[in-house]
A and B are shown apart, each in its own frame.
Chain A
Amino acid sequence: MALKFKSAKKNLSNGSVIEVKDLWKKFRIYHEKHQSLKETFLKRKRVSYEEFWAVKGISFSLSKGDTLGIIGENGSGKTSLLKILAHILRPDEGTYRTEGKVSALLELGAGFHPELTGRENIYLNGSILGMKKSEIDAKFTEIVAFSGLEKFIDNPVKSYSSGMYLRLGFSVAIKVDPEILLIDEILAVGDESFQRKCADKILEFKLHGKTIVIVSHDLNAVRNLCDSAIWIQDGCIKKQGPSEEVVNAYLAYINQGETASNQGSGAENFGTRHGTHEVEITKVEFLNAHSQQDDAFQTGGKFVARLTYEAHQSIENPVFGVAIFGSEGTQITGPNTKIDNRVIGSVQGKGYVDYIIEELPLLPGSYLFSAAIYDESCLHAYDHQEKMHMFKVKSGVGRMPQGTIQIPCQWKFGDKMAESDLKR
């Protein structure tokens, strides 16, 4: 009896600030635009449409201070889910509950009016995001300083460059002080330093114990910022758990899809690719000691990455480079043929370059791999495939130290220590 009461009470207040139960959301896809009175009333015929379920029975709950990443392919229902949490869309079935003030950053500079000055837009945008005037007053100097637009703050924003516009929008957005923060892909805009500022700010929110939900394609950001993650596939939760695990499972899934489809072109699904493509990397294969294709290697074993290229014209002195990243996104190494003083001359047509590590020092885990071909100056990218490939190092026999890399080392004991004692 007492036990029952206890569990009921626990259910009522289990500390969750977001609780989503069996959420369903459908959209109608109209075959022809209706939205005209004539068609509705004169034709007397229901317009034909298809129902599309974007969210299919998603449940999860978050406790205060949790950071959740939502990942998945485009159109999988991530943003719909976020918009439901932000009260923008109403679910067709299921319930959700949020506790405390919710701020959704789905767009920077929402409601900015081009004719108004930066100053006026700060107040407008701030109030759209739910800030009080007194709050904005108090934070105004900080907002302007953060945006770095002191000189232009009294100019109409239509005279701003798109970068300035985003910076101003971002500076306002990060000043919201909600208990629950919902973020959609904002991390993806802006230059490197802007993105870093963004990530720093989210970490700061995290430290202050805010609950954060991030929808992102940036898997490394999800890995680094989020405690847990949800991978959504076709509106359903495919995997849910610690972010590291979910991201790895998602990556593995994508890699699989890649190998199944054709190897070169299907690879753009994750990571990024840029370059002018006069010469292309058509395939990246990982080979083991027996020159067989493999994607799982052993610490201390041979590792070969074969970069197959195709040059559509004669290319003088190309530079081939690779990089290996740990699961946290930290770069482990990034050599290229120029640094290692290997001059190639010119390439034309098909061919390959092998990157060989005789004794792989990497410890078990998943690793991302970049491959690139640059011109001689290393400034112009012909083809740069950033983190588009993945390989694993599997646990072998014997005990392995923890970490990412095995560094050859020795132990030496002081004179007073008796070796035999330690052996025991």
Chain B
Amino acid sequence: MFQKISELWEYRELLFNLVKRELKVKYKRSVLGFLWSLLNPILMTLIFTFVFALILRIRIPAPSNADVPAQFLFPAFLLSALLAWNFFSVSISVAVNSIVGSSNLVNKIYFPREILPISTVLANVVNFLLELLVLLVFLAVLGFKFYLYLPFLPLILLIHIFFTIGVCLIVSCLNVYFRDVQHLLGIILLIWFYATPVIYPLDLVPERWQGLPMHSLLKLNPIAAIVLSYRDILFYAKFPEFSVMIYATIISISTLAFGFFLFNLYEPNFAEEV
């Protein structure tokens, strides 16, 4: 493990260059560039607001310490978790192909293969940070008072990135052996999205349903813990629950460790399998 990390460190320039490549290719030759990546969450927000706030009339109670116009409550509520979810889901759906799609590299050059999924995640981190910045400005203009809790954001981000890299390592590795992983992933991510309280507040979920402790079950979902922490800070301007944070940290680090372990186990055969 330690040896692997030091090797990755040695290849940091390659990692950096691959991240750069991914970002450059994404925004090259498009006039709007980065604005495109904002368009997606904006559109999603419009749709979800229309469906859930306008038609289904989900009411989001305003956070106690902020005075926000009512019509912006749902979009703010949604975006404070949606961006975090999007980073996770986009990273995974791109990273799943990172090894298989780079067969020409994997077959011809040696470098730690972890670099491929990790660079995908890091490129998306850059995107996510830019989106987050826009969101912060938007929320600040609306009158949300999250400033005090902002220093905690990097910590959550770190947990978030660890978890995402861990999952990406696992799926990209599995996809080398079973190509249906990439197809299956679309369905899994859809289910996972609705299993995560992104578009609905946790309070609307019944505490017990058919004898199942729904709240506890939903909170077991590690990405829910992470996404809700973002919302706690940005929307509710409060500390995330300590126990939730501990849980998310433990799960993230174990997922990352397991991801590295699995990846390392199968990495030597990648060249002949892709």
Contacts and interface: CB of A to CB of B under 8 A. Distances in A.
Bin chain A's interface residue count.
Answer: 20 to 34
Nearest to B273: A35
A102 B106 CA distance: 16
Given A88-B110, A110-B104, A127-B13, A35 B178 contact: yes
Contacts, number: 77
Contact of A89 (B24, B177, B272): B272
Nearest to B12: A127
A129 B108 CA distance: 10
A87 B108 CA distance: 10
Nearest to B106: A88
B202 interface: no
A27 B268 CA distance: 13
Interface stretch (A8-16, A112-120, A146-154, A272-280): A112-120
A104 B179 contact: no
Contact of A133 (B13, B111, B184, B272): B13
A187 to B, nearest CB: 16
Contacts of B109: 86, 88, 104, 106-107, 110-111, 128-129
Interface in B1-38: 13-14, 16-18, 20-21, 24-25, 28-29
Contact of A36 (B17, B107, B108, B178): B178
A124 B110 contact: no
B107 A88 contact: yes
Contacts of B108: 88, 104, 106-107, 110
B17 A124 contact: yes
B110 A104 contact: yes
B111 A40 contact: no
Contacts of B106: 88
Nearest to B26: A115
A38 interface: yes
Interface string B86-126: 00000000000000000011111111000000000000000
Nearest to A38: B180
Contact of A27 (B16, B18, B29, B272): B272
Interchain residue pairs A-B with the least CB separation, the first 5: A90-B268, A87-B110, A107-B108, A106-B108, A127-B14
B271 interface: yes
A132 interface: yes
B254 interface: no
Nearest to B178: A37
B107 A90 contact: no
Nearest to B174: A37
A205 interface: no
A113 B178 contact: no
Contacts of B65: none
B269 interface: yes
A306 interface: no
A110 B21 CA distance: 14
6 contacts: A36-B179, A88-B107, A106-B109, A111-B104, A120-B21, A132-B13
Interface string A348-362: 000000000000000
A87 B104 CA distance: 15
A21 interface: no
Contacts of B179: 35-36
B75 to A, nearest CB: 34
A124 B105 CA distance: 12
A123 interface: yes
A83 interface: yes
Contacts of B272: 27, 89
B181 to A, nearest CB: 8
Interface string B174-208: 00011111001000000000000000000000000
B104 A124 contact: no
Given A104-B108, A111-B104, A129-B109, 12 more contacts: A38-B180, A88-B271, A89-B268, A89-B271, A111-B105, A111-B109, A115-B24, A116-B24, A120-B24, A124-B17, A128-B17, A128-B111
Given A88-B107, A88-B110, A128-B109, A116 B21 contact: yes
A405 B61 CA distance: 100
Interface in B53-104: 104
